[in-house]
Structure 1
């Protein structure tokens, strides 16, 4: 007896489904949920210890904006393409729209609200103001958070290297020359 391609794939799918339905994960999924399905996540935000109960699919961006009311971090494209949502996790910049909040368990998160020292602005913030490194302001928090890390990177020296390091942050207004000047000034101070 010959088996057609359609029959072969149909049988393979049936066997796969049978194996999948007997796995522990399938049992956990199929079992009635006694709890809320939320996950407890504890991390530090701008130096303050925070604990949230979140759906495991919540992004860091949404947790910051909607649960912690830290709205300085912007939701631009929500696809990791514009950089408006840039924050620091353990002193490394990340796109918070692509980072699940559960992955920052036990880590330090710094947002735009946390880089100043009280009323004293961070040198990058001051430089952005002095060089008019923003126009509409929507991308500014992400630009500044990326620039803070670029200023601290010793291997980024030339204008082209700065542009490359900042290439993940888009300014739709086109304030790039002013942003570059601000970063250069902040590096000198």
Structure 2
């Protein structure tokens, strides 16, 4: 894959933020962000429900808006990080500044990952809507197409639920970043 299209660093940096201060992965956070959306979608699919074109259209609209908003937030976080100088160990506020820089960088990684999940949602929505509009006369191919469309719909819902979880995580991190810095000055 071209280096310009390689997203593996975005994913690995994001995953590195889902751990405690000692670097131990937080199983509960992994469950909420990754496994819970899959379990909810499996429950939804097993109930016989199907994704409609209207819901897919709403998801593509929301994901597109959130992609743009997250890009703007990414710029703001980047500007905030650029304004903070790396603290020296002699600085009495070293730990506070170090934690602030770390929180800003982790928020940056989470925002980048959320942009990625939003773009994935948009792509899956377009694919889902396009495939839902295809009709084939051959029954065997129609069954395969229907199953593939349902699979894409399930993946779309899972990615969308993950995006919602990430938006909540970013909101909490941004809020904590602001309130922790404000209260310590």
Please classify the TM superposition score into its range, dividing by the shorter chain length.
under 0.3
- Normalising by structure 2, report the TM-score: 0.21
- Normalising by structure 1, report the TM-score: 0.21
* Larger RCO, structures 1/2 (Cα 8 Å, 6+ apart): 2
- Higher CA-based Rg: 1
